[in-house]
Amino acid sequence: MKRYIRLVYFLPLALLLMACPSHDQQPNKPGPEKSTESLRQSPVPFNADSTFDYIEKQVAYGPRVPGTKAHEACAKYLETKLRQYVQDVTVQTGDVKAYDGTILHIKNIIGVVHPEKHKKILICAHWDSRPWADEDSVDKKKPIDAANDAASGIAIMLEMARELQNRNPDIGVVLLMQDAEDYGVEGNSDSYALGAQYWAKSLDKTKLIADYGILLDMVGAKDARFLQEEYSLKYANDVVVKVWNQAQLSGASNYFINNHTGAITDDHVPINELGIHTHH
């Protein structure tokens, strides 16, 4: 469990440190690795215990499948909790059509930390859970609790909001909790990321709300390793360079592996197509 706590700790810390330069600056040159202990002594604190608590609260509702009581209850919790830390919070509601014709009532929950800042970074993750465990070897039709996919990313965002509420970073932070990402089926890429698609279509492309973004998807697994994903390299290579440079500077290069992986259809795709360079 120590490795898991360490992962949850350093990931948002690295993001916060990385967020200080503007989008126009050149990426930092890789420097010597810092020890994990030096990361813990960083002036930017991060509480792993409260992050675990956010995960537990989400999972306690049960599978957060759109159209269920658990989904509705968790949406209220996330909105309430985010409003404790962020003054600028909106909930975008809408109806989207799933691959099978089902109409899903969705809620995208958005908080903006320091909206007055000219430069902004988008941090996003989906909060719904998959309605069936099709990768399971036994209960393939059973909905999943989704502690990692996607409660872990949402928990990190809430902890970032808590830590940033009394701080004055150089840039603003847009926290986007997307709905209905996991209702898709294999072979139909458009059936995934329905909430992100809905959100992207609602924005004015001439008035983008962030300079670049990072998607926190499945970031809480034990001994997780992160590779450079194909869509991220295609649309947001500059952001990939920033993240990997910062990982090396922060002593986290053993988690961020300098290898490529295949394309992953996820929430970052419609956001990248919108024009916000976003790394998975």
Which tokens in the block code for residue 129? Answer: 């859970």
39-47, Cβ contacts within 8 angstroms, sequence gap of 24 or more = 39/9, 39/10, 39/13, 39/250, 39/251, 39/252, 40/9, 42/13, 42/17, 44/13, 44/16, 44/17, 44/163, 45/163, 46/9, 46/10, 46/12, 46/13, 46/159, 46/163, 47/159, 47/162, 47/163
Sheet of 277-279, strands arranged across: 88-97, 103-113, 172-178, 120-126, 212-215, 277-279
* pTM, entire model: 0.86
pLDDT at residue 165 in the model: 87
Domain count, the chain: 1
For residue 173, give the nearest of 162, 189, 184, 183 by alpha carbon.
162
Question: How confident is the model over 30-53, as a mean pLDDT?
Answer: 55
- The whole-chain average pLDDT of the chain stands at 84
Q: What percent of the chain has pLDDT over 70?
A: 84
Question: How confident is the model over 24-39, as a mean pLDDT?
Answer: 38
pLDDT at residue 245 in the model: 87
pLDDT at residue 3 in the model: 36
Span 253-267, pLDDT tens digits: 888 899 999 999 999
Which tokens in the block code for residue 141? Answer: 């039709």
CATH of the domain at 77: 3.40.630.10
Question: How confident is the model over 73-94, as a mean pLDDT?
Answer: 97
As beta bridge partners, residue 278 has 213
Cα distances (angstroms) measured from residue 143 to each of 28, 44, 131, 216, 218: 43, 37, 4, 21, 17
Span 91-146, pLDDT tens digits: 999 999 999 999 999 999 999 999 999 999 999 999 999 998 888 778 888 888 99
With a cut of 60, say whether residue 72 has pLDDT above it: yes
With a cut of 80, say whether residue 170 has pLDDT above it: yes
pLDDT tier at 45, thresholds 50, 70, 90: low
State the residue range of the domain holding 169: 2-279
